Chains A and B, each alone.
Chain A
Amino acid sequence: MATAVDNIVSDKLFEWLLRRGDSALILGHRVSEWCGHSPVLEEDIALANVALDLIGQARLWLTYAGEIEGKGRGENELAFLRDAWDFHNFLLVEQPNGDFGKTLMRQFLYDAYQVLLLEALENSSDQRVAEIAAKAGKEAAYHLDRSADLVIRLGDGTSESHRRMQTALETLWIYTGELFSGDEVDEVVSDAGIAPMPETLQSSWRQIVDEVLTRATLEVPDTTFSHTGGVTGRHSEHLGHLLAEMQFLQRAYPGATW
């Protein structure tokens, strides 16, 4: 009986870990698309470093996911040999980069969530989850410093930068509700003391977001509508295009190593 319960938890934990790992991986890949294209050299380096942190975090989550699944899949198999419907990332992170402002707005909305989630996960009943969260949390906090600072500077900048940041906020806002929509995976993992229910993070997130957006002279869109589905494998069309590039090598040359 205990084994059956454990199996249910480990099935859900596997999916929950994929949500963490896939969101970090897909956002890391998106941010890495800026490499060599940023408006100034310092920002190019900064974006590449943020991408590196995220991809490093993805490796920690996906390696653990593979161990929990117990079918011999490691970080590489999970990253490169799954198709779009088997990815469990948030819709927010797969949205195209757009201009520099939209990239920073997406980063800010995600960083504020990450900082709160990872802080809560440091008290996870699962020791490995707590360790990864403690490591990743320090990086996420630094990312938030940077993305919040730039959102304020660009929002409260020129009329052109303000206009672009307001447009970015309106485009991305409808993808933020998914961060706080718990489902049965979250319920099982939460009952096991591994993670909080996503809903419990929303008011703190809103506090951070409101404070920064107010200073950035930006207005939160007046809508409660939210797209969902990413974490259960229903994605926007953008993810397939991203994977086609990210997974090209393994698709063209299966099993290639160097």
Chain B
Amino acid sequence: MKVSTDTIWQWLAEVPDPEIPVLSLTDLGVIRDVRWEEGTLVVTVTPTYSGCPATAVINLDIETKLRSCGVENLRLEQKLSPPWTTDWLSPEGRAKLRNYGIAPPVESVGEMSVSGRLSRLSGKQDLVVPCPRCGSSDTEKVSQFGSTPCKAAYRCRECLEPFDYFKCH
């Protein structure tokens, strides 16, 4: 069976991220390429973080989905470069995150350079992450890491709810 790569992309858009199931793998931006090499479908996947435990599950879920759709010859490839960035989160993905109660990334990746970070160490103010529940900008960082490597823990001082921030990477 050899269906169009457009159809494969649509199928992959139905595979939820194992840790943030409101996002699909295509929303997350980890699927980098889909192509046929003669009779074999090659799907290229990039990890979010080097040690993210979801990576193995993501690969398994991709394989399970495509096989259930009738793809028989399948190969997954890992691609490190260019490294995954939250800039690849789709606009729909950002909206879905917010509705789910997770604040989407607000910084631009440019600010994440080493020199940008060092200037922040020397006193530049922390960024403002609006609360995904009440929209208030009066929020504070509780911890630089949240329930997964890609998130930080925040708290809203207005509605007092804790929330996850999908940090810029």
Contacts and interface: CB of A to CB of B under 8 A. Distances in A.
A54 B169 CA distance: 16
B147 interface: yes
B112 interface: yes
Interface residues of A, number: 38
B146 A138 contact: no
B83 A43 contact: no
Contacts of A212: 121
B82 A134 contact: yes
A43 B146 CA distance: 10
A132 B118 CA distance: 22
Interface string A207-235: 01001100000000000000000000000
A49 B121 contact: no
A50 B121 CA distance: 19
A51 B52 CA distance: 11
B143 interface: yes
A137 B145 CA distance: 17
B57 interface: no
Contacts of B108: none
Nearest to A53: B51
A52 B52 contact: yes
Contact of B143 (A28, A45, A132, A137): A45
Contact of A53 (B82, B112, B149): B149
A124 to B, nearest CB: 12
Given A59-B50, A60-B50, A142-B144, A135 B149 contact: no
B120 A138 contact: no
Interface in A138-196: 138-139, 141-142, 144-146, 148-149
B51 A211 contact: no
B83 A138 contact: yes
B153 A42 contact: yes
Interface in B11-57: 47, 49-53
Contacts of B52: 52, 56
B118 A43 contact: no
Contacts of A54: 51
Given A45-B147, A134-B81, A139 B153 contact: no
A52 B169 contact: no
Interface residues of B, number: 28
A131 B112 contact: no
A208 B143 CA distance: 22
Interface in A102-130: 115-116, 119, 130
Contacts of A52: 49, 51-53, 149
A135 B169 CA distance: 10
Interface string A71-99: 00000000000000000000000000000
B50 A56 contact: yes
Contacts of B149: 49, 52-53
Given A60-B80, A141-B112, A148-B121, A46 B143 contact: yes
Q: Which of B82, B114, B144, B169 counts the most chain A CB atoms within 10 A? A: B144
A56 B51 contact: yes
Given A60-B50, A139-B49, A46 B83 contact: no
A45 B117 contact: no
A135 B144 contact: no
Interface of A: 28, 42-43, 45-46, 49-57, 59-60, 115-116, 119, 130-132, 134-139, 141-142, 144-146, 148-149, 208, 211-212
11 contacts: A42-B143, A46-B145, A53-B50, A56-B47, A56-B51, A115-B117, A136-B50, A138-B112, A141-B112, A142-B169, A211-B122
